[in-house]
Amino acid sequence: MQIITDSFQKETKKHGSDGFPFLVSHERLSRYESGSFLWHWHPEIEITIVEEGRMTYRVNDQSFSLKAGDLLFGNANVLHAGFMQDAADCVYTAVTFSARLIYGFSQSSIHTDYVEPLLWDFSLPAIHFDHSESWHGSFGKIVGNLLRLDEHKPPFYELEITAGLQLLWKELLSHQQPTPHCNAHSRTEYERIRKILGYIEKNYSQKILLKDISDHIHLCESECCRLFKRYMNQPLSVFLQEYRIERSLEELTAGEDPIGLVAERAGFSDSNYYTKVFQKKMGCSPRQYRKLCKKGCPNHKNPRPGNRRP
């Protein structure tokens, strides 16, 4: 399994209904191929609660190490991805909701004065709630109440959830004031990263040159590489290789096509090189991986500790 995105790396999954855009999902990293969910974004806010284990959670150019009991507030429209730590599984709950449940309608005073400034604060892509501050506990209690309301769905629970989200937002604003002015430079860089990821998602099976990507985002090749390394914490070439490996996993497990054909469809012109990169990332050969999947080995999706993604 892997998160499905469009050509702009936006997640296509619907978070709740049009009438009530609120969704609670119970997840675990081992459900995803390679033990990680790929980079994506969505216009909804997402709060992640770690139930068991640990997770490295990347948001834009920031990295958070989450442990059991921690929460992470992820702002709207941010790029994010999650990875195992030490090849161990992580069980977590995701609460995803549209900010319009808080402000009601566009250009309302709640929208313009309280919600929009925080939503478009590019200096605040995420907040890590690790109980290091006293208000982290009160924030966590509000989230816990939202989870109970969603689970039991008592009469008028939609109204109670909406009131809970407004209380949650008030708690955020009481302790985290948004930056007065959006950093236009940061926003431009963020949009360029999204375009790079979208280009890779759309063209990974073809030959991709650095010039192709730099032309796509209208930036010189050297600055394109520096921008990507700064945001994604790894070279663009390494990310492309690993992305292609991740996209090949489903074909390996779902079919019987020759390894060379799987490699070609993933964008590798040399099957031996594909095997070499696969071995480095996954800790086994593509053939061994396919065999382990057929046996139903519970750990076949986990890369070796020394070869996990950052």
Number of domains in the chain: 2
Q: How far is Cα 222 from Cα 281, in angstroms, rounded to an integer?
A: 26
166, 187 contact by CB (below 8 A): no
Domain at 57, CATH number: 2.60.120.280
Written as one letter, the residue type at 40 is H
Domain span at 194: 184-307
Q: Judge if 153 and 193 occupy the same domain.
A: no
Helix or strand holding residue 102 (H, E): helix 100-103
Domain-located, residue 83 = yes
Q: Judge if 36 and 153 occupy the same domain.
A: yes
Q: How far is CA 176 from CA 95, 120, 140, 184, in A?
A: 20, 14, 15, 21
Q: How far is Cα 239 from Cα 236, in angstroms, rounded to an integer?
A: 5
Q: How far is Cα 231 from Cα 140, in angstroms, rounded to an integer?
A: 29
Q: Judge if 86 and 149 occupy the same domain.
A: yes
pLDDT per position in the chain (310 positions), as tens?
666 666 555 677 778 888 899 999 999 999 887 788 888 888 899 999 999 999 999 998 889 999 999 999 999 988 899 999 988 999 999 999 999 999 998 889 999 899 988 887 877 899 999 999 999 999 999 999 999 999 999 999 999 999 999 999 999 999 987 765 555 667 788 889 889 988 998 899 999 999 999 999 999 999 999 999 888 878 999 989 988 998 898 888 888 899 999 999 999 999 999 999 999 888 899 999 888 877 765 444 444 333 334 3
| Beta bridge mates, 11 | 5
Edge-to-edge strand list for the sheet holding 22-28: 22-28, 91-97, 45-52, 71-74, 126-129
Q: How far is CA 14 from CA 11, 17, 73, 105, in A?
A: 8, 7, 19, 20
Domain-located, residue 118 = yes
Q: Judge if 171 and 29 occupy the same domain.
A: yes
Domain-located, residue 12 = no
Q: Judge if 251 and 275 occupy the same domain.
A: yes
Domain-located, residue 242 = yes
Domain at 199, CATH number: 1.10.10.60
pLDDT per residue as tens digits for the range 6-23: 655 567 777 888 889 999
Domain-ending residue, one of 155, 175, 195: 175
Domain-located, residue 205 = yes
32, 249 contact by CB (below 8 A): no
Domain-located, residue 82 = yes
- The DSSP result for 154-211, as a single string, is -TTHHHHHHHHHHHHHHHHHHH-PPPSS--HHHHHHHHHHHHHHHHHHHHTTS---HH
240, 200 contact by CB (below 8 A): yes
Tokens representing residue 227 in the block: 């921008």
Domain-located, residue 4 = no
Q: Judge if 103 and 202 occupy the same domain.
A: no
Q: Judge if 138 and 241 occupy the same domain.
A: no
Domain-ending residue, one of 111, 143, 175: 175
| Beta bridge mates, 36 | 83
Q: Judge if 231 and 302 occupy the same domain.
A: yes
Domain-ending residue, one of 143, 175, 207: 175
165, 111 contact by CB (below 8 A): no
Give 155: exposed, middle or buried? Use CB within 10 Å, 0-12, 13-18, 19+.
exposed
Q: Reduce the DSSP state of residue 217 to 3 states and report it.
A: helix
pLDDT per residue as tens digits for the range 173-205: 999 877 655 556 677 888 898 899 889 988 999
Q: Please state whether 48 falls in left (phi above 0), alpha (psi between -120 and 50) or beta.
A: beta
